[in-house]
Structure formats: C-alpha cells, structure tokens
Amino acid sequence: MQLGTRRLLDRAFSGLGFISIGLMAASLLVILTPIFVRGFGAFVFQGTIEFRRMQLERFERGDRDEIEAELTTARRARQPVYEMLDAFDTEMGEMGFLERREYEGPREELEDALRELLGPRPEDPVPVMARDQYGATRWDRAREKIDLVLYRTEYDYSDRTRMGVPVSVPRVEDFRGTALEALFDYVELHATEMLRPRWTLYLRFLTDHSIDAHFFGGIWPEVLGTLYLTLGAMIFALPMGVVSAIYLVEYAGEGRLISLLRTFISTLAGVPSIVFGLFGLAFFINTLKITESKSLLAGSLTLATLVLPTVIRASEEAIRSVPTTYREAALSLGASKWRAIVTVILPASLPGILTGVVISMGRAAGETAPIIFTAAVSVGKALDFAKVKFWETLSEATPALPWNIYNLATEHEAVDEIRHVQFGMVFTLVMLVLILNATAIFLRARISKKLRG
Amino acid sequence: MEAPAFDLNIPEARADVPESAPQEHPHILARDFSVFYGSNAAVRQVTFNIPRGLVTAVIGPSGCGKSTFLRAINRMNDLIPGCHTRGELIFGDQNVYGPQIDVAALRQRVGMVFQKPNPFPKSIFDNVAYGPHILGIRDRRKLAEIVERSLMRAALWEEVKDRLSDNALGLSGGQQQRLCVARALAIDPDVLLMDEPTSALDPRSTTRIEDLIAELRGTYTIAIVTHNMQQAARVSDFTAFLYEGWLIEFGLTQQLFTRPKEKQTEDYITGRFG
Amino acid sequence: MEREQSPDREQSPDALAARRSDLLMSARASRAKRVVAFAGQSLLFLLTSSSAIVVLFIFYFIFKDALPFFQLRSLGEFLGSNRWYPTASPPEFGSLAIFLGTGLVTLGSIVLAVPLGVSAAVCLSDILPFGLRQAVKPVIEILAAIPSVAYGFFALVVFAPLLQESGGRLLSVAVWLVGVPICGLIVIVLSESVAARLPSEQRAGGRIVAMLLLGVLTVWGLYRASRGAAGLEIVSGTNALNVSIILGIMALPTVVSVSEDALQAVGRELREGSYALGATRAETILRVVIPAAGSGILAAVILGIMRVIGETMVVWMASGNAAQIPDPWYNFLEPIRTLTATIAGDMGEADHVTGSARYHVLFAMALSLLAISFACNLASEWVVRVQRKKLKG
C-alpha cells in the first residue's frame, strides 16, 4: 500500500478510537443529564399556594398567618371561576331537558379538570384521599392541568390504516354563548393569581414521609430502607470478606482445594443478581425461616452474599499490596503471624479494604433484583429501630429506593402524576452511589500517600 | 601470596581483640549448617562461631547466601515456602531449628534490621513501642521510658523527641533506618542482625549508622551482612567470606583483609570479581 | 544463659526480661501452640469456604425447586414450544420465545458494546496520552457504578417515548453516524486494492476513479438506508432495540476495562518490534497487539455477555415483556421478554407455598441462567489462563 494511504488509515484508526470514547462519554452524559436535571426538580421547583397549604396542614411548616392570607388572596382570584360555574348551573336549570343533557357531560369534565387544578371548592366537604384535597402543588403540573381545562383530547380516526391520532379541541367551543364562555380566558390569564407559583427549595423531600402513595411528601422511608439494607449487607459481608481475604493471602497455599475455592468465589461473582433473589427466598425465608416473609434481615443477608466476592477480591488485593517488609519487621520483633496481621498488615491495608467496601456498598445500594423477593415492599413506613424492638424491626419488610423506583415508574396508579418523585428517587440513588464512589477514589488517593510517606 | 592493596584503618579500640574470641566466647555457632530453597542449596555446610559482644561481618558477592545465612539465625526464612535447613545452628545453648524452639521468643532475642528501612506506617512512638507492646507492656509511662531509652541508644532521640506522634514515614531514609534499629533494641535483644543496613542510604546516613554500630558494639552481639568491603573493614571485628554458599574464610577482620589465606578471598577483596 | 554485663545493659528494665518467655517451650506448650495454630487455620478455612458453600447452596436450592417442574411438565415443552400461557387452564410453559428474547437482547447489546468497547480500550491503552486517559477512567467507573434500575428508568421514561415518537429519525441519523466512518474506511481499502492491480503508471488515476465510484455508491446506499430507517414506524418504544442499546452501554465498562487490561499486558517489546519494522500504529495494533491480546479480549466479551444475560431491571422495565418471537426473528423493533424479567415479574404472582408448576418453571429458568453464567465463567477463566501462558512463553 502507498505510504499516504497507510498514514490515512492510521489516522482513521485513531479517529475510530476517539469516536468510541466520545460515544461512551456522550452516552453517560445523555443518561445522567435528564436524571440530574429532572431529579433536581424534585428539590427545587415552582411551588404553588396549594403546596404551601399542604406543607402547613400536613407537616405544620411555614407561617400560618402568611399562608392563610395568601390563600385568601388566591381564593379571591378563583372566586370568578366558581361564580361562572354557578351562573352556568342556573342557566342549565332554565334549559330544556335535551339541551341540558348535552351540556351535562362537558360540564362534569370541566369541573373535574378545574378540581385537579385548584383543588376542591372551599365550601365543599373535605375529600377522603389526600390527593383530592389539594390542587396542583407544582407549577409544571399546574400548567398541564390548565391545558386540561382549556382543551379536551379527541382521536382522529380518518386514516384507517393507522391508530387514532390524538387531537386537542378547545373546550370553549362546547360552551359558546353560555356563561362559561369567559371562564377559559379567565383561567388562562389569571392562573398565576389563582395558584401563586413561587420558587421553592424543598430539601425535606429527602427526609419527609410520603403521603397518599407518593402523591405528596418525600422519600425518607425508601432512603432509610436502602441505607439499612446496605449497612446490613456490609455488617455480614465485611468480616466474612476480610477474613476470607486474610486466609487466601496469608495462609492458603497453592493446593488444588484452594484453586477450587477460588473458582467458587469467581463463580459467585458471576451469578446473576435475580438468582440471588430466588436463592434468598428459597434459603433464608423458605428453608431457614429466619423471618416469616420479606424482611430487612433476609434482604441484607441476600445482598451480603451478592457483594461478598467483591469484598473478598478488594481486600485480597489490598492485603497483597502491603509490602513484605512490614510483615518481616513485625515477625522479627517476635510477633506471632496472627498478631502481625492484626497489628500491622490490616491497619496498613485498611484504606484499600475500605475502598472495596465503599464500592460494594454502592453496588448493594443500587441492586434491585435480589431484594424483590426478600425485602422490598412498595408502600411502608420508615423503619425505626428506636420505637420497636430490635428484632421486630429486623424482621419487617421495608421500602427501598431501587425497588420503589421500579414500582412507581411501572405499577403506580398515576405514573404521570408523580414523575417528579420518580426522578427525585433516581437522582437520590445515583447521587448516593456516586458519592460512595467518590469516597472510594478519595480513599485510594490516600493509600498511595500513606504507603509512600 | 602478594599483599592485597587494601587500605585498612582499624580503630584503636578494636586492635586488641584476641583472635581466639569466637572459640572462647561463642554466641552463635554454625555446625555444618546448610539452607535449601527447594532443592537448591543457598548456604552449604557452613561452620563458624559468631563471638559474643563483638561485630561480625558476613561478606561475599551477591547471591552468595550471606543474607540467607543471616535470616536463618532468627528463622526469617520460615516465611519462604520450601525453605529448609540441615546441620546445626546453635544460639546460646539451643539449636535454633530444634523442635521445641519458640520462634517468637527466639526473634525477641535476636533482633533484625533490614536492607531497606521498613518502619510501620504508624507514629514514631508506636513503632518503637511495638515490640514491648507485644511482650505485654501496656503501661504508657513504662512504654515511654523504653521508647526514650531505645531512641537514645539508636542516636535518634534528639532529632525526634518533639514529634514522637508523627508518622514514621515522614522521617528521612537514614532516620528511618535508625528508627528501625531503635525498634529492634526496644525489646532488648541479645543479638542484632543487620542485613545490608546502609545499602539504601546516602553516605552521611551511612556514617551515622556505622557510628551507631560502633556504639552498640560490646553491648550486643552484632552480625552484619554487607557487600561494601570498606564498611566491613570499618565496623567489624571478625569477617566471614561466603562464596556460592560455601564459607571460604573466617577470621579477624584485620587479618582477612590484609593477609587473606585463600585465593578467592584475595580476588574478591581486591575487586577482581564480585 | 550467661550474659555479658555492661553498664548500659544494667538499666534494662526488669519488666522486659521478666516478660520474655523461655526460648524452649515445654513439649506440652509446643503441642498446645500447634493445636491452636491448626485450629485457627481450620477456622479461617471454614469461614473462607463459606462462599463456596453459598455457591453450592445456590446451585442446590435452585436445582431443588427446578426439578419438580421437569417432573410435572416436560423439558420438551420448556425448550421446544413458544406457547407461554402460565395462567390459562391448562397452563402452558413453552419458554422458547423467552430464551430467544434473552438471546436477541444479548446479541444486540454485544454487537454494540464489543466494537465500541474494544476500540475504546485500544484508544485508552495505545493512543490517548496519560493525562487524558486519567480523565476517561472516571467515565468508565461512573458508567459501571450507576445502578441498573436507574438505567432501566432512563430506558422506560426517557428513551422509550423518544424512540416511539421519533425513532425513525433517530435511526436514520444513527445510520449516517455509524455508516460514514466505516464505509469511508472500506472505500479507501477497496480502492487501494483495486489500484494495486493496475500497472503503476495508471495507479494514481485508477485510485481516484475507484474512490469516486465507490464513494458515490456508498453515499447512495447510506441515503437509501437512512430513508428506510426514517420511514420505520415504531409501535412501542419498549422493545428489543431500546433494551439492547441500554444493555450495550451497561456492558461497556466491563468490556473496556477487561480488554484494556489484556492490551496492557502485551509487553512494550512486542510493540517496539513492530514499530521497528516500519509499521504504523494502526498496523501494529491490528496485526500484533490485538492478536496477542486476543484471548484477553475474548474474556472481556464473555464477561460482557454475562453482565447482559444476568441483567434484570432494564429488561423488565423496558423490553415490553411480550413472550413472543419477533417477526422476523431479528426484528429488534418488537417487544420481547427475557428470562430474568420473567422470573422477576412472575414470582410475585406464582404461589410458592403449594409449589405449582408456575413457581417451579421460574426456578427452571433460574437454573438455565445459572448454567449459562457458570459456563461463561469457566470459559473466561480458561481463556485468561491460556492468555497468561501464551504471554509467558
């Protein structure tokens, strides 16, 4: 081949490498950006007066007088809407039967849409479900609700070869010439006065309990459940992993039994996580009967078996990287082997072991499949070791971030209504894992510093 | 045999060491002693005595088994898989490789300083206190006493007395090596083994270690492995020359360096090989 | 033992001397010590082998609960039929479609992850300067650290609607993005080989003509392909394509880091030998480094496959969970269903107290998964051993 072409091919080859790395970085960016941006929106958003009312009534937060004054102002702005509805009702009373029948459906739909936007009318009885007691608490939701008030969706079936195409039809057309005709312009123009959106920092999203299946409130039970499951897994996996690593590095020879043991450990590392879930169910719950059904304990044990090989491998590496000279120095001073391990080798390898542990914690925190059958429930209150007996709390099932992300995103009855909660959960989980990984990187940097002096 | 061109300055203090010292005051006796790595012999049927309270140097080209011999004395070779010995190595009145020897107790009497300074990544105080701590001394005041005395003996006290709680890895290489000496002295051993203690140090630190050896001479039995012949000549009373595992020659340092009996010794000390 | 007394020595604290144990142990003490050491080691061994015991337990329990299925129903039904109606009466448990679903997704993601991952690894180990490499490492670490449920959520909530609404356009852009560099390379190589056959005085002209011809042909082909892709209508965003892309991204860190290790293990001497013969970097890597690291890269691919096959959340959330064989079988735009998702999804509904066939079929699937991953694990270990032997001598 010609030299010029060879050089060109060489360049192109490097270019392909750069493109791959670029694609990898881009996919990371593409995945993280919506999670970060919209997840951030669970904490910082434009809250309406309904949000502040909810916070006041449910969590007793905010200045009562101020909020009530604001609520009065907002209700005054809403008054014309209700007056128009009432006027229309009188108008309908005067209509003939057939004409009235025609208006009844649309009016019903309109009132429902308005209720979703503004909440129940002040003079109505308080609804049972919390989700019905408040209007739109977030301005981004409110804007969608305003669209629901202004437009209704119809399907266009004119092209028979395809599925129906949704078309938005202004509701104002339904009420031409009635008392309600002016309502739509009014809602569109005065929405901000009726709801009074304001930038809100809702940090307590993290530490609030949830109200009415995550319609309002925060994600504390999930966060706490994840933390407990992770810690529980580490309590079992850390000592086992470190002891195994000590044995493998310091005592085990090169025998056939040991190499078999190593194969087993790497097999354990490759077992699919869902199989761990089945194993946890079949072994810890159905066979050992450590608890009657799903529980924090069973979930922790299952996660512990999952992260055990990771902990062993990391600890092994950390112990192996301790210079032999330390070992020799300790032994030459008359220390027994075990003593040398405990007093010199383990302290020196501690940062390395911790690095592995922290990374394993990230893995345990994010795993979903193993806890589906062993620990996780979709709705539950935050675990509280202080109030109930220790054992009882251990044998309770718990919500956990990964499971509830799945649950809220697929099985919740109003998936679209609580997108912000889902994104908030994903954001929290990803941040948790990233913080753990950053800690690991920090620890790793410290090791090299410490070992080199 | 022509006299080797070797400049030798024997200090006054060592001029009157009798040639018979190893026979009269033996501390460590090797009798037909061999060390094997698997089937390879690293030390072959070595026989000589290390005299009590004096400094004995072991020299020889690299790979001659001198470090292996030294590490055999406090059984550090036990760490190496496949390593075994034949013959006798007697410390005091006990065979070091006897069946009932308590290796930990042996190592508490035979301290060791390694080629590279190897302080633990702990504070200076904890480094020195490590040995006494193992012996069960927990009293902080008593430990402080031992630490101070050991650091003084190792001529390091003045330099570190204000920063005993600093990490030992922050010391310079020479200071680290003296710390290792202090650490070995803290359990008050009878014997101090030094495995090329200055090979990783600069000349000034080397001088300080050599001065230290001179000071410790008389109090401890010292065996030092070195491939620096000048150093062996400067610090030792007796010298053993090992070559390919065999003991070629053993005798008063002065004699070995000025009037070697063996051709190989002469070749080595005159720099013809090694 | 007699001691030489020196003034310095007399200060030696009695505390130390008293605490020193005797050099000689009594026979009893020595035996006791040996017993303690042996007991300690045995205890350590037992604790260590508990992970082996866990593996055996996993195999045992999965097998134990899978066996009744094959007694209740037949293996032929399990693997030979694609009629999956676990709740009908009588129920049917043909899992062929589910196995094929797993295979399809694995295939798709590996086709994405391996070229991308290996070329990224090559770039990391041989092309990028040290500083940049350090900057790319965290990207890989973060990709590996993101929990699978977050990937699944992204696939379901962000990616699936995007595919559904503008999937055709996305695909046509992808056709151009992937096609242009690859086809460009092919055009250059082809026209070069055409030119090589011509007599030397016509070579330069022939090369240009061939390049132009092939170039026009390629652009036309790509245009047709992208038009075709743009015209595609994606009925549901939760389909095999979606899942394959996301799983491919998830497998990337494994593929990249393992194959980078393999490439790094190829010594500098080998590379320098090739450079010394006048080879360019690309030729060195393609002809010398990659063949030498071949089995290591194979291990990376196997580990990537393991990661993909065992993944649950992404496929459960975003594959559409339809137990059907796509038509035609390689149609990635149709929803599919995988083994892991079936286990996760059906376990909650299967009655695990009475032990119905529906409960046991899930264990039979888990057993299949376990067998596959065990085989992959053994294969990768074997491959790594071969690699190590090859590099050693």
Structure tokens at C70: 């094959």
Look at C1 and B105 and tell me if their CB atoms are within 8 Å.
Answer: no
- pLDDT digits 0-9 by tens, A185-218: 999 999 999 999 999 999 999 999 888 888 888 8
Locate all alpha helices (DSSP H) within A202-336, ordered by sequence.
220-246, 256-270, 273-279, 296-320, 324-332
| Res. A352: pLDDT tops 90 | no
Of C252, C282, C370, the CB nearest to A13: C282
What percent of chain A is predicted at pLDDT more than 90? 53
Prediction pTM value:
0.88
- The fraction of chain C above a pLDDT of 70, given in percent, is 92
For C344, residues 6+ apart whose C-beta sits below 8 A from its C-beta are: A274, A277, A369, A372, C312, C313, C316
- Chains in touch with C (≥3 Cβ pairs < 8 A): A, B
pLDDT at C389: 77
Interface contact B98-C4, CB threshold 8 A? no
Say whether B118 and A323 touch across the interface (CB within 8 A).
yes
Residues of A with CB below 8 A from C116's CB? Answer: 20, 23-24
Closest CB from C44, C283, C340 relative to A274: C340
The answer to whether residue A381 scores a pLDDT higher than 90 is no
Query: Using 50, 70 and 90 to split pLDDT, how confident is the model at B11?
Result: low
Instruction: Inform me whether the pLDDT recorded for A160 exceeds 90.
Output: no
Which residues does chain A have within 8 Å of residue C115's beta carbon, measured at their own beta carbons? 20
Residue A340 has pLDDT above 70, yes or no: yes
Compare CB distances from B100 to C8, C20, C30 and report the shortest one's residue: C30
Instruction: Decide if C127 and A7 are in contact by the 8 Å CB cutoff.
Output: no
Q: Which CATH class is domain C75-392?
A: mainly alpha
Residue C2 has pLDDT above 60, yes or no: no
Handedness of CA B203, B205, B208, B212 (dihedral sign): negative
> How far, in Å, are B13, B29, B231, C26 from residue B24 at the CA level?
19, 12, 26, 30
Give the distance from residue A447's alpha carbon to the nearest chain B alpha carbon, in angstroms: 11
pLDDT exceeds cutoff 60 at B1? no
Average pLDDT, chain A: 89
Q: Is pLDDT of B2 > 70?
A: no
Express the helix, strand and coil content of chain A in percent, nearest 5 each: 70, 5, 25
Q: How far apart are CA A40 and CA A38, in angstroms?
A: 5
Q: Is the pLDDT of residue C134 over 80?
A: yes
Chain C partners within 8 Å of B101 (Cβ): 23-25
Pair B263, B38: CB distance under 8 Å: no
- Mean pLDDT over A1-5 rounds to 71
Quick one: CATH architecture of A220-452? Answer: Orthogonal Bundle (1.10)
Chain A touched by B213 (CB under 8 Å)? no
Q: Is the predicted pLDDT of residue B155 greater than 90, yes or no?
A: no
Question: Cα–chain-centroid distance for residue A315?
Answer: 30
CA distance C249 to chain A (A): 7
Distance from CA of C301 to the nearest CA of A (A): 14
- Judged by CB atoms closer than 8 Å, whether chains meet at A437 and C40 is answered as no
Cross-chain CB nearest to A366 (options C148, C285, C344): C148
Instruction: Name the minimum distance, in Å, from the CA of B97 to any CA of chain C.
Output: 11
Is the separation of the CB atoms in A420 and A46 below 8 Å?
no
Instruction: Please tell me whether the interface predicted TM-score (ipTM) of this complex is above 0.90.
Output: yes
Confidence of residue C193 (pLDDT cuts 50, 70, 90): confident
Tell me what pLDDT residue B125 has: 94
Q: How confident is the model at residue C4 (pLDDT cuts 50, 70, 90)?
A: very low
Write the pLDDT tens digit of every residue in B106-141: 898 899 999 888 899 889 999 999 999 888 888 889
Give all domains of chain B, ordered by start, each with its CATH number: 22-269 (3.40.50.300)
Strand order in the sheet with B191-195: B110-113, B191-195, B221-225, B55-59, B238-243, B246-252
Are C116 and A23 a contacting pair at CB < 8 A?
yes
A-C contacts (CB, under 8 Å) = 266
B residues 89..108 contacting C (CB < 8 A)? 91-94, 98-102, 104-106, 108
Q: Please, what sign has the CA dihedral across residues C32, C38, C44, C49?
A: negative
pLDDT in tens, C12-21: 555 566 666 6
What gap in Å lies between CA C200 and CA C134, rounded to an integer? 47
Residue of A32, A240, A279 lying closest to C47 (CB–CB): A240
pLDDT digits (tens, 9 = 90+) for A93-132: 888 888 888 888 888 999 999 999 999 988 888 888 888 8
Judged against a pLDDT cut of 70, whether residue C352 lies above it is answered with no
Q: Would the pLDDT of C30 be above 50?
A: yes
Q: How does residue B3 score in pLDDT terms, banded at 50, 70 and 90?
A: very low
Instruction: Indicate the domain borders of chain C.
Output: 75-392
Give the whole-angstrom CA distance, residue A183 versus residue A36.
Answer: 38
Between C1, C19, C23, which is nearest B137 by CB? C19
pLDDT of amino acid C353: 57
Separation of alpha carbons B206 and C184, rounded Å: 66
The string of pLDDT tens digits covering residues C244-303 is: 999 999 999 999 999 999 898 888 888 888 888 888 888 889 888 888 888 889 999 999
Asked if residue C58 lies in contact with residue C310, where contact means CB atoms within 8 angstroms, the answer is no
Higher pLDDT, B18 or A428: A428
Q: How many helices (H) and strands (E) does chain B have?
A: 11, 10
Answer yes or no: are the C-beta atoms of C344 and C312 closer than 8 Å. yes
Q: Residue range B60-86: average pLDDT?
A: 88
Q: Where in chain A is the domain with CATH 1.10.3720.10?
A: 220-452
pLDDT of the residue at C393: 54
